[in-house]
Amino acid sequence: MKYTFLAVDDEALALADLTASLKEAAPDGTICPYTSPSAALEAVQRGEIRPDVAFLDIQMRDWTGLRLAGELRRVLPQLEIVFVTAYPQYALESYSLHARGYLIKPVTAQAVRAELNNIFSGTAVPLSVKCFGNFEVFYSGKPLKFSRAKSKELFAYLIYRCGATCSVKEIAAVLFEDREYDSTLKNQTQTFKSDLLKTLRSVDCEDVLIKGHNVLGVAVEKVDCDYYHLLRGDTHAIGAFMGEFMAQYSWAEPATAALFYKYLQ
């Protein structure tokens, strides 16, 4: 890939890690790293660099990545934005800026490569997720069958988290909110995790999941999701939202209220 990448993080070590991952993921690319958001913006404004994709840390001392993204878009309206952060609570706001991606630190070359493939390939993904109304999953237009209801609920929660990884303990607390976490509950949750992996593997979509030691997440670029389209500001998705979000799950009620207030008030 012969593209130009802007990388901004005010922490030098974090920037070095991001730069290294970019170099590994796109060895033919040109990387322009900055620890100063204002210097990065000035370089773009002066025309010294013209990036195709900007990888921006969200939480910086004097700027936020969200503010920097807005300023960069004034100069380069077609600039693709990928946010990099350790704070998953910024996911909704980042999507409102039409960000292409959202990476959780520490960023790996594999995660960067997936984002770049999503940006430049234009390839449609076969897995479709419907969050408005009841939560449903489709593979190539046909309903995906889950052998256990809790496995489907687990996938719904991971979709809701917008790519942020979740520990087994956190997942157990959501799936079984009235039970104390112990070894039995941990094993049950692991069973649902394994069943979800099996279900996605059956349609060759196991790579939709981000797997780590006792954590699980969703690679948002590998699913076509009405919720994600809504957060990105897609007018069709906004028009399709009628006030119901993952209606069969009680843990989704606060998100439903927030979406209703934002888009229907």
105 pLDDT more than 80: yes
E strand or H helix at 30, and its extent? strand 30-34
Q: Show which of 121, 140, 160 is a domain's final residue.
A: 121
Q: Give the Cβ contact number of residue 53 at 10 Å.
A: 24
- Identity of the residue numbered 4: T
**Long-range CB contacts (< 8 A, 24+ apart) of 84-87?**
84/9, 84/18, 84/55, 84/56, 84/57, 84/58, 85/57, 85/58, 85/59, 86/59, 87/58, 87/59
Residue ranges making up the domain that contains 85: 4-121
Cross-strand partners of 82: 55, 101
81 pLDDT more than 50: yes
The pTM for the full model equals: 0.58
Based on the fold, state whether residues 253 and 152 are members of the same structural domain: yes
| pLDDT value of residue 99 | 58
| pLDDT value of residue 197 | 95
| pLDDT value of residue 123 | 56
| pLDDT value of residue 4 | 95
Cα–Cα distance for residue pair 205/139, rounded to 1 Å: 9
| pLDDT value of residue 87 | 61
Quick one: pLDDT band at residue 39, thresholds 50, 70, 90? very high
**pLDDT per residue as tens digits for the range 112-166:** 887 888 777 655 568 899 999 999 999 877 899 999 999 999 999 999 999 888 9
The number of domains in the chain is 2
Based on the fold, state whether residues 79 and 138 are members of the same structural domain: no
186 pLDDT more than 70: yes
CATH code of residue 133: 1.10.10.10
Q: Show which of 121, 142, 172 is a domain's final residue.
A: 121
Based on the fold, state whether residues 109 and 142 are members of the same structural domain: no
Based on the fold, state whether residues 12 and 87 are members of the same structural domain: yes
Decide which of 48 and 230 is more confident: 48
Q: Show which of 93, 121, 149 is a domain's final residue.
A: 121
